[in-house]
Structure formats: structure tokens, C-alpha cells
Chains A and B, each alone.
Chain A
Amino acid sequence: MLWKKQIPLAITFITGLVFGIQYFVPHRTSENLFNAYVDWEIVIGIFGGILAYISFYRAHTMRIRKKAPAWQYSLVAIGISLLMIFFGFIQGTETGTFFSNMYFYVLVSIEGTMFSLLAFYISSAAYRAFRARSAQATALLIAAIIVMLGRIPLGEQLSFWKLIWSNAPSFTDIANWILNIPNMAAKRAMNLGIGLGIMMLSLKIVLGIERSYMGSGD
């Protein structure tokens, strides 16, 4: 119990207390302490990386060994990762190498397309969700349409009222106003809540009230 729970909790409390106070101490020693902590965290992070890579290879080799459904894809994932590592260390990572081509032509292509797929799904979801059922839902719909129109060159041309009054704001101007004023006000209030939430959670962790990060077991 002492070694498995109380000492780890004491470590959390002491490091939390030290680095909570460190922020308010404008002294060289305090800065050195902070820099040393950052260096230490980088080294710990290195081993965190090892843990992550072991987990990846272990999970996929298990799938292959057990001949789980679609296990062949695990073989592809492992094979491609090993190829990347091999060429990354043998050829280097400069432009034109296998490593960089795999990144620019394969990874960027796939990830770019995956994210762009969301445009289709988000639009079909919006069709169902955005039906103007109430005044507030209508506000959401109108804000979304104006921002979408304001982000494209066509939005400027669709601002027909500018033919009558040239100084009137275009879709782009209105979209920018929505993004910079009411949108920012809402985001700022949420950020305030998030900030206070982080502080409370951090305090709970330092004081040992929140312990879920330690995992289950003794």
C-alpha cells in the first residue's frame, strides 16, 4: 500500500506543490528548476514513446497470431511501419527519399481526404439537425450560412445590396463580424469555464482527491 499508493500520491503532491509555487518565484534557481523539469519530462516522454510503440506492435501481432477477422490489414500496418523505419534510417528523411515521399504522397493524401470526407458527413448531419425548428436554431442556421458564404469569393458577388449602397457590409464583412464579435464572446466565456475547470482538476490532482490517472488496482 505504501509503495503502491501513498508514495506515488506523495510524489504528485510534492511535484504539484513545487511547480505550482515555482511560477511565482522570479529567481534563477526557480527557472533552472523549471528547465530541469522540462528536460526530465522529455526523457520520460522518450520511454512513453517506447511504451506506445510496444503497444502498437503487440496489439497487431496478437491479431495476426490469433488470425482475428481482417488480420491481413495488421500485417500491412506492421509491414509499412517497418519499411518507413528502415528507409528513414538508411536513406534519411530529406525531400525525395522514400520516407518523405511516403509522407507527402501517401500520408498527406489519405489524411487530407479523410478530413475532407467530413465535409460530406457534416453537411448531411446538418440537414437533419439544422432545420429551423426554433428561433435559436434559425440563428445557428443563418450564422452558419453567412460564414460559409463569407469564406468564398462568390459570397462577395452575392452581396447584391452593395449595388445600391456600396458602403454596406458584404457577406465577407458580416461573416468576419460574426466570427470576431458574437462568436468570440461565446468562445471566451467557454474558455473561462475551461480555464477554471483545469484549475479545479489540477488542484484535485495535487491534493490527491482525483486519482483515476493512477489506474485501477492496488
Chain B
Amino acid sequence: MQLSTNIWVWLGVFFTLSVLSFLYKDNPFYKLAEHVTVGVSIGYAIVLWWNLTVYPRFIIPVFENGHFILIIPAILGLMMVLRIVPKWSWLSRYAICFTVGGGAGMGIPRSMQASVLRQLEATMLPLSLNSATGINNIVIFIGVLTVLIYFFFSKEHKGVFGGAAKIGIWFLMVGFGATFGYTVMARLSLFIGRVLFILQDFLGLNLAG
């Protein structure tokens, strides 16, 4: 075992333990870690915002390449900033409406294409009882149809319709269980990552043998 001499590793371990201390109860170390996260995130975001967006996408195009047309969205952007001045906050609506309107307009056909047509296309596959793929396709088809029926509340869930909705619930339950199991394992791998950081990087234990 050889303790790390890297101050950054010590800092990483300190904050890892500070956050884990929340398992006992909320405490000043956890609160400190929380606010350090906010501070580092904001500082990180501002530097990247300048380096990756402001400078290459606004300053260079306008002041070096002469794309003065970008002054118009800049004025709209300034109007958005006026949201913090109560008297002039209504001016921010122009930029918000431009953004929301464009986004909504683009959203209609794109959502139809990506979330509806593509999903339907992927569901309508050859159905057969002669191969594993064919059977899987049947399961997918029944699953999609019955879950959709379950979410259709304009008709009372009775009779055949109600039976189909019940099958839909089974699919949903299996789906939720699978998602839960997957999420737990993803979180556990993160925890294992932190433990390995403490054991290997900080304590210098050679776990690989």
C-alpha cells in the first residue's frame, strides 16, 4: 500500500467521502460538496461557453468575417437578457417566441418522423412462428399494441379491449422492472468506480494482482 502524494487525488477522495456521508444524514461536508459542484459546474460552463460558442460562433463570424446579419439574433438575445429588468421583461418574449415557434414548427414533422413513423416501421416486421426472430417480432407487435391500448383512455377498459389493456400492463411491468434493474446496476458500477478510485488511486492497492 502506498498512499498517493497527489493533492488532487486527496481532494477527490475528500469530496467522495463528503458525498457518501449523506448516507448517514445531511451534514456540512455534503453541503460543501454540493456547493462546490455548483461552483465548478458554473465556472466550467462559462469557460466552455466562451471557448466553444461565443468566440467561434459569434465574435469571429461578426468581427472578423463580417457576417453582420448575426447582429439581429444578438439584439434578440439582448432582449432576452432584459427579462431581469421587470419594466422591460416583456421584450424577452420576442426572442422566446422566435425560439419556441421555430422549435415547435420543426418539432411537428421531425417528431412524426422519428417518434411515430420510425417506431411503427420498426414494429411492423415479418411475423412467424417458425423462427426465434419471428416469435420475437410477434411479442414486440403484441406488446406495442397492448401498451398503446392501455394508454388509450377514451374507451372504457372492458371486454376484449380491457383484456388487451391488461396484457399491456404486464408488458409495462416487465419493462419497468428491466429499466429498474438496469439503472441499479449502472449506479452500482459508478459506486464501484468510486471505491476503486479510493483503493487504487488513493491507497495505492494493486487490485489487479
A residues neighboring B (CB under 8 Å): 3-4, 7-9, 11-24, 36-37, 39-51, 53-56, 58, 70, 73-74, 76-85, 88-89, 93, 99, 101-120, 122-123, 126, 136-137, 139-148, 151-152, 175, 178-196, 198-199, 201-203, 205-206, 213-215, 217-218
Decide: A80 and B36 in contact? CB cutoff 8 A: yes
Decide: B43 and A185 in contact? CB cutoff 8 A: no
Q: Tell me the complex Cα distance, A123–B32, Å.
A: 26
Write the nearest CB–CB distance from B75 to chain A, whole angstroms: 9
For chain B, residues 83 to 115, give those with C-beta under 8 angstroms from any C-beta of chain A: 83-84, 89-90, 93-112, 114-115
Decide: B101 and A13 in contact? CB cutoff 8 A: yes
Decide: A43 and B70 in contact? CB cutoff 8 A: yes
Decide: A151 and B53 in contact? CB cutoff 8 A: no
- Cβ–Cβ < 8 Å partners of A206 in chain B: 101, 104-105, 108
Decide: B169 and A16 in contact? CB cutoff 8 A: no
Write the nearest CB–CB distance from A106 to chain B, whole angstroms: 6
For the residues of B in contact with A, the DSSP-based class is helix
Q: Tell me the complex Cα distance, A184–B122, Å.
A: 11
Decide: A23 and B106 in contact? CB cutoff 8 A: yes
- Known A8-B97, A137-B173; contact A84-B40, beta-carbon cutoff 8 A: yes
Write the nearest CB–CB distance from B115 to chain A, whole angstroms: 2
B185 CB–A CB distance under 8 Å: yes
Decide: A105 and B36 in contact? CB cutoff 8 A: no
Q: Give me the 3 closest cross-chain CB pairs, A-B, nearest first.
A: A84-B43, A195-B115, A185-B143
B139 CB–A CB distance under 8 Å: yes
For the residues of A in contact with B, the DSSP-based class is helix
| B24-42 interface bits toward A, Cβ cutoff 8 Å, 1 = contact, 0 = none | 0000000111111111111
B200 CB–A CB distance under 8 Å: no
- Known A18-B105, A49-B49, A73-B32; contact A119-B187, beta-carbon cutoff 8 A: yes
- Cβ–Cβ < 8 Å partners of A184 in chain B: 140, 143
- Known A88-B43, A117-B20, A120-B23; contact A140-B180, beta-carbon cutoff 8 A: yes
- Number of B interface residues in the complex (CB < 8 A): 115
- Cβ–Cβ < 8 Å partners of B108 in chain A: 20, 199, 202-203, 206
Decide: A117 and B177 in contact? CB cutoff 8 A: no
Decide: A214 and B177 in contact? CB cutoff 8 A: no
B19 CB–A CB distance under 8 Å: yes
> When the two chains form the complex, which single residue of B97, B100, B178 contacts A143, counting CB atoms closer than 8 Å?
B178
B161 CB–A CB distance under 8 Å: no
| B185-207 interface bits toward A, Cβ cutoff 8 Å, 1 = contact, 0 = none | 10110110110010000000000
Decide: B136 and A193 in contact? CB cutoff 8 A: no
- Cβ–Cβ < 8 Å partners of A152 in chain B: 185
Decide: B190 and A106 in contact? CB cutoff 8 A: no
- Cβ–Cβ < 8 Å partners of B47 in chain A: 84-85, 88-89, 93, 99
- Known A8-B97, A51-B83, A193-B151; contact A80-B174, beta-carbon cutoff 8 A: no
| B1-39 interface bits toward A, Cβ cutoff 8 Å, 1 = contact, 0 = none | 000000011011101101110110000000111111111
- Cβ–Cβ < 8 Å partners of A81 in chain B: 38-40, 42-43, 46
Decide: A182 and B188 in contact? CB cutoff 8 A: no
- Cβ–Cβ < 8 Å partners of B36 in chain A: 76-77, 80, 106, 110
B116 CB–A CB distance under 8 Å: yes
Decide: A19 and B105 in contact? CB cutoff 8 A: yes
Q: Tell me the complex Cα distance, A195–B9, Å.
A: 45
Q: Tell me the complex Cα distance, A199–B181, Å.
A: 31
